[in-house]
């Protein structure tokens, strides 16, 4: 973590000051270790709680989209010393804890033919790899748990390792449906890995660094004093952001790409033979993956922890990061509430015939953008026109080819 600059406002420095107050008296190597442990503990606590309340928020938002209230009845348990208050209704805020208790007290069934070690290891490995990705995301100006030169590479390497755990789960269950579903899940995850990786390559090209702090640094400043220099406000950045988010949906097994565990078609895919807390761990890992990918999308395209407008900079950076994270997570939930699930062949076609070519062309767009950076003011319009055309024309052409013979759909019986 960075040395605290004394020029920052107090709230910006507050977390660091608190940490230094806690560990400042320790000798150097111990201090480093304890600081690391504090960071780990904070990540686990903050994102564990975020996961818990995200499941609640998801159920509430899905409920509202379907014009119903969602979970709102879980009461707080009556404590002996607060008995006079009775059961307090808290708009369902106790629901995640009730779910947790339920998952913990359920029977943990391991199939007789299953490989017990692998069967046990799969959820643990999945969760471990998901948590590893949290290490390199800059949550605030001084809040980077781990400064790595190749942070982006590390992030996607750790993220890709979760695919191994998915297959491990399917293989260890000794269930042919689990195995088939795991193979399908693997096919999907690997297919969407490619557009996911290609979509952030332009960011690295333009920023010239693989370090997440460096990428956030590259998005500093404002054009005309109010348009932030975020990558999403450039043609290639917008295209990359959209591809990244679509691929992130698929990578985190979220609707409409949730074929690996499609509830209504398969039983639960590779999770068929998992119950109780192991199932909850898979669930947790999925949400961690979603949160981590949202955090990475913020870092790569949405200016990281930077404020959107200059006069809003007095609000601490970590608040901005949290706000952006909430917006993206709401987007994930909104998409889940809206779109029906894709069939596996549609999903593959979409990845290989649309997202991958678009991401490759986006590399070209970014290259043009990078090479024309020095052009003077009138030529800037040409630069924008060329790069916009490089984004929009392939989108329209590829989209037309993708939907040829499929869209617009005609309904013979329904109106």
**Minimum distance from residue 49 beta carbon to another protein (Å):** 24
Is residue 90 close enough to count as binding another protein by CB under 8 A?
no
| Burial label, 118 (beta-carbon count in 10 A; 0-12, 13-18, 19+) | middle
**Minimum distance from residue 160 beta carbon to another protein (Å):** 27
Q: How far apart are CA 19 and CA 41, in angstroms?
A: 13
Q: How far apart are CA 66 and CA 58, in angstroms?
A: 12
Of the residues 26, 64, 104, 379, which one makes contact with another protein according to CB under 8 A: 64
Is residue 69 close enough to count as binding another protein by CB under 8 A?
yes
Q: How far apart are CA 215 and CA 208, in angstroms?
A: 8
| Helical ranges in 266-355 per DSSP H | 276-301, 317-338, 344-349
Of the residues 66, 105, 264, 415, which one makes contact with another protein according to CB under 8 A: 66
Of the residues 334, 381, 385, 393, which one makes contact with another protein according to CB under 8 A: 334
Stretch that binds another protein, among 50-58, 212-220, 371-379, 394-402 (CB under 8 A): 394-402
In sequence order, the β-bridge partners of residue 222 are: 228
Q: How far apart are CA 298 and CA 203, in angstroms?
A: 12
| 8 A C-beta contact, residue 54 and residue 286 | no
Q: What residues contact residue 148 under an 8 Å CB cut-off, 6+ apart?
A: 136, 154, 211, 212
Q: Which is nearer to another protein, 42 or 61 (CB)?
A: 61
Is residue 339 close enough to count as binding another protein by CB under 8 A?
yes
Of the residues 116, 208, 221, 399, which one makes contact with another protein according to CB under 8 A: 399
| Burial label, 411 (beta-carbon count in 10 A; 0-12, 13-18, 19+) | exposed
**Minimum distance from residue 60 beta carbon to another protein (Å):** 10
Half-sphere exposure of 229 (CA within 13 A, CB side): 14
Is residue 402 close enough to count as binding another protein by CB under 8 A?
yes
DSSP 303: -
Is residue 338 close enough to count as binding another protein by CB under 8 A?
yes
**Minimum distance from residue 61 beta carbon to another protein (Å):** 7
Q: Which is nearer to another protein, 34 or 61 (CB)?
A: 61
Is residue 226 close enough to count as binding another protein by CB under 8 A?
no
Q: Which is nearer to another protein, 275 or 346 (CB)?
A: 346
Cα-based distances in Å from 408 to 259, 346, 413: 24, 15, 15
Is residue 102 close enough to count as binding another protein by CB under 8 A?
no
Instruction: Print the binding letters for residues 42-61 with another protein: x by CB under 8 A, - otherwise.
Output: -------------------x
State how far Cα 120 lies from the chain centre. Answer: 25
Is residue 389 close enough to count as binding another protein by CB under 8 A?
no
Is residue 153 close enough to count as binding another protein by CB under 8 A?
no
**Minimum distance from residue 59 beta carbon to another protein (Å):** 13
Binders of another protein in range 309-328 (CB under 8 A): none
- Separation of first and last alpha carbons in the chain: 59
DSSP 348: H
Is residue 337 close enough to count as binding another protein by CB under 8 A?
yes
Q: Which is nearer to another protein, 69 or 86 (CB)?
A: 69
Q: Which is nearer to another protein, 89 or 190 (CB)?
A: 89
| 8 A C-beta contact, residue 234 and residue 303 | no
Q: How far apart are CA 215 and CA 197, in angstroms?
A: 16
Number of residues that bind another protein (CB under 8 A): 22
Q: C-alpha angle with apex 251: 249 to 252, nearest 5 degrees?
A: 70
Is residue 160 close enough to count as binding another protein by CB under 8 A?
no
Q: Rg of the Cα trace of the chain?
A: 23
Of the residues 335, 360, 368, 388, which one makes contact with another protein according to CB under 8 A: 335
In total, the chain counts a number of residues equal to 415
**Minimum distance from residue 340 beta carbon to another protein (Å):** 9
Is residue 87 close enough to count as binding another protein by CB under 8 A?
no
Is residue 388 close enough to count as binding another protein by CB under 8 A?
no
**Minimum distance from residue 173 beta carbon to another protein (Å):** 35
Pairing relationship of beta strands 222-223 and 227-228 according to DSSP bridges: antiparallel
**Minimum distance from residue 199 beta carbon to another protein (Å):** 17
Binding site for another protein (CB under 8 A): 61, 64-69, 72, 334-335, 337-339, 395-396, 398-400, 402-403, 407-408
């Amino acid at each position: 973590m960075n040395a605290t600059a004394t020029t920052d406002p107090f709230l910006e420095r507050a977390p660091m000051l608190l940490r230094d107050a806690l560990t400042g008296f320790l000798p150097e190597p111990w201090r480093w270790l304890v600081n690391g442990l504090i960071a780990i503990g904070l990540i686990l606590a903050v994102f564990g709680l975020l996961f818990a309340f995200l499941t609640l928020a998801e159920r509430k938002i899905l409920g509202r989209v379907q014009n119903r209230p969602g979970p709102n009845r879980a009461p707080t348990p009556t404590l002996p010393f607060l008995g006079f208050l009775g059961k307090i209704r808290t708009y369902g805020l106790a629901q995640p804890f009730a779910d947790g208790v339920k998952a913990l007290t359920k029977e943990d069934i391991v199939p007789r033919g299953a490989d017990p070690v692998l069967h046990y290891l799969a959820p643990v490995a999945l969760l471990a790899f998901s948590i590893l990705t949290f290490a390199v995301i800059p949550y605030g100006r001084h809040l980077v748990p781990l400064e790595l030169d190749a942070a982006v590479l590390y992030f996607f390497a750790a993220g890709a390792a979760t695919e191994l755990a998915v297959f491990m789960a399917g293989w260890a269950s000794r269930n042919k449906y689990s195995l088939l579903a795991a193979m399908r899940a693997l096919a999907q995850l690997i297919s969407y890995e490619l557009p996911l990786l290609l979509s952030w390559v332009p960011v690295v090209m333009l920023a010239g660094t693989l370090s997440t702090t460096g990428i956030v640094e590259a998005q500093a400043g404002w054009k005309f004093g109010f348009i932030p220099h975020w990558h999403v406000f450039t043609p290639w950045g917008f295209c990359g952001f959209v591809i990244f988010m679509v691929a992130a949906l698929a990578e985190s097994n979220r609707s409409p790409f949730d074929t690996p565990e499609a509830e209504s078609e398969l039983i639960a895919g590779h999770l068929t033979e998992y119950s109780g807390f192991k199932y909850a761990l898979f669930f947790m890992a999925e949400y961690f993956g979603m949160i981590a990918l949202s955090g990475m999308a913020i870092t790569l395209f949405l200016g990281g922890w930077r404020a959107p407008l200059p006069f809003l900079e007095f609000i601490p950076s970590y608040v901005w990061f949290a706000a952006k994270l909430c917006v993206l997570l709401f987007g994930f939930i909104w998409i889940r509430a809206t779109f029906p699930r894709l069939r596996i062949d549609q999903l593959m076609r979409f990845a290989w015939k649309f997202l991958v070519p678009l991401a490759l062309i986006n590399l070209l767009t970014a290259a043009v953008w990078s090479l024309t950076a020095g052009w003077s003011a009138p030529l800037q319009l040409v630069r924008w026109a060329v790069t916009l055309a490089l984004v929009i024309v392939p989108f329209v052409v590829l989209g037309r080819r993708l939907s040829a013979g499929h869209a617009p759909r005609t309904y013979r019986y329904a109106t």
